Amino acid sequence: MNAYPDFTDEQLAVLRTYGTERATTVGEVVYSPADARNPLVVVLAGEIEVRDESQGHDVEFARFGAGTFVGELNLLTGQRPYVTARVTVAGRVVPIEAEQLRTLLERETELADLLVNAMIARRKLRLADSADHAVIEIVGTARSEATLALRTFLGRNSVPYRYVEAEAPGDDLPVAVTPDVVLPRATPGRLAEALGLTLAAGDDRPYDVAVVGAGPAGLAAAVYGASEGLRVVVFDATAPGGQAGTSSRIENYLGFPGGISGAELTTRATFQAQRFGARLVSPCRVAAVEPSDAGFVVTLTDGARTSARTVVVAAGAEYRRLPLAGWDQLEGAGIYFAATELEAELCAGADAIVLGGGNSAGQAAIYLARRCRRVTIVIRRESLSESMSQYLIDRIEGHERIDVAANTEISALRGEDHLDGVELRDTRTDVRRESEARALFCFIGARPATTWLPAEVQRDEDGFVLTDVALDRKRLPYETSLDGVFAAGDVRLGSMKRVAAAVGEGSSVIRSVHEYLEPR
């Protein structure tokens, strides 16, 4: 993908129709981090320089001359600008504001491909350069769940940042530094608000679809809904990707013979949904869904509210945990629920344990073995063959740094501020032994995240949502017992619990949404 394409005369003529041409003067600030939003700026003549001018920084990122455009992926994500665009050579430009840009992307396919691909390519360049020249900075400690939460949030939202290890623990850590604010004791929610990634205030127009959950099912619903003209908002408690986004590798997803990481797959889906106009909001938890004259009112735990004509429940599941002393305080400080590059970096050179015998556990073990001294897969069953695909078993059996501890459970945790080891118990003999593992990756399944749903939505005893139930009228496919509320993906009773299946359900549910919204 070309990050800095040149427009043809014909393309420039089309672009002019979506904005108002104006002159620029040397030194003029086109936009800066002080602005809540910025336009896409087509340069007809002159030059614009993009720099990081935040406190203590003075870094040039790019210069844009005639026939190019100024703008980045934040034009799709809604993130406020984090750089300053300043005129260095007077000329003429065509600013294209957000609404006009959305119309352009819908109508001009060739230009839309060129613009979106360039925006994504520019963001990837910024991500690759983030260690040296990132505008956003996180200061924290590796042994901190709060620091890991911030880094996970930024990484899953493809926001470039630089991580700085604090010299010593402190009450203000972690600290998030953005171009216009410093956040002590930062949380993903406060940082999202500072970056402009939260629900837009004053947006009272009802959405056609509110999707709860941004895993594969939710993202698929967003892509298909938005591409078919529906106004879509997606809420996620953590960040786009869901549990699939934490998978180190998916090798049986159709169309990727070489495999693809869960993060890469869901990041592509996120960009795709945003291209079609879906609004993604995270981190935020839905506290309630209540019927209203417009359809439903969706209330978040922070009190923010929005209206939607329909709701798609794609909240997936919450990780299961072991009932062991010290577990809660060690989450994010040695106990992890994902095996991405970030977590692998935190335990490089140490011993690690992978708890669980499914495909996610197998992929995690293989991935971690590249960085860890030794990886032990702990399972309660007799062998991996009961729950893992054979191609993964073959790789694990042939790997010199991976062991399998069958008929074994974790009986105790060691460590106070960070995991220092675990006690393993043989379930057949009750013999216990110590492991010096400094990292524990937990893949023992999950339970549906449905406690927030209204009572009218029927669930089974485990919390999985019932769809297609027989009531006063025939239910549409994927519709729950509450009119206008649908469910897709792992949260639905009877779902296959596979990424491909979740994508299929998320795509298919939109047909039912359309049918529900049609005048009767």
Contact 93, 21 (CB under 8 A): yes
pLDDT tens digits for range 281-314: 999 999 999 999 889 999 999 888 999 999 999 9
Beta pairing class for 335-336 and 439-442: parallel
Q: How far is CA 344 from CA 142, 246, 348, 352, 488, in A?
A: 12, 12, 6, 10, 31
Return all residues near 53 (Cβ < 8 A) that are at least 6 apart: 32, 83, 84
CA distance 176 to 163: 10
Contact 116, 71 (CB under 8 A): no
190 in helix, strand or coil?
helix
In the sheet that 402-405 helps form, which strands lie side by side, from edge to edge? 335-336, 439-442, 351-355, 374-378, 402-405
Query: Could you count the other beta carbons within 10 Å of the beta carbon of residue 128?
Result: 10
CA distance 165 to 163: 7
CA distance 423 to 255: 42
More confident of the two residues 478 and 242: 478
Q: Helix 390-397 to helix 359-368 angle, to the nearest 10 degrees? A: 30
Flag whether pLDDT at 363 surpasses 80. yes
Which pLDDT value is given to residue 199? Answer: 75
Tell me which residue has tokens 């799709």.
Answer: 76
Contact 239, 153 (CB under 8 A): yes
Return all residues near 400 (Cβ < 8 A) that are at least 6 apart: none
pLDDT tens digits for range 229-266: 999 999 998 889 988 888 888 888 889 998 898 889 99
What predicted TM-score, i.e. pTM, was given to this entire model? 0.89
364 in helix, strand or coil?
helix
Contact 454, 487 (CB under 8 A): no
- 497: confidence class by pLDDT, cuts 50, 70, 90: confident
Which pLDDT value is given to residue 201? Answer: 60
Contact 403, 382 (CB under 8 A): no
Q: What beta strand segments (E) does 32-190 contain?
A: 40-52, 59-64, 68-70, 84-96, 136-140, 161-165, 175-177, 182-183
CA distance 478 to 468: 6
pLDDT tens digits for range 160-191: 999 999 988 889 999 999 988 899 999 999 99
- Tokens at 281, concatenated: 């909001």
Which pLDDT value is given to residue 182? Answer: 93
- 203: confidence class by pLDDT, cuts 50, 70, 90: low
Domains defined along the chain, listed by start: 9-97 (2.60.120.10), 130-195 (3.40.30.10), 207-318+447-517 (3.50.50.60), 327-444 (3.50.50.60)
CA distance 479 to 343: 38
CA distance 118 to 211: 28
Rounded to an integer, the average pLDDT of 205-226 is 96
Which pLDDT value is given to residue 200? Answer: 65
Report the candidate in 104, 34, 118 with the shortest Cα–Cα distance to residue 72: 118
- Tokens at 471, concatenated: 């009531």
Q: What residues does 376 pair with on adjacent strands?
A: 353, 403
- Tokens at 256, concatenated: 């990727």
Flag whether pLDDT at 376 surpasses 60. yes
Rounded to an integer, the average pLDDT of 94-122 is 94
Beta pairing class for 182-183 and 279-281: unpaired
Flag whether pLDDT at 280 surpasses 80. yes
Contact 415, 334 (CB under 8 A): yes
Between 60-64, 197-201, 368-372, the lowest mean confidence (pLDDT) is in 197-201
Q: Which ranges of 347-450 does DSSP label H, i.e. alpha helix?
A: 359-368, 390-397
Flag whether pLDDT at 51 surpasses 60. yes
Which pLDDT value is given to residue 436? Answer: 94
Mean model confidence pLDDT for the chain? 92
Between 26-35, 52-61, 122-131, 486-495, the lowest mean confidence (pLDDT) is in 52-61
Q: Which helix (H) or strand (E) covers residue 288, if one does? A: strand 286-292
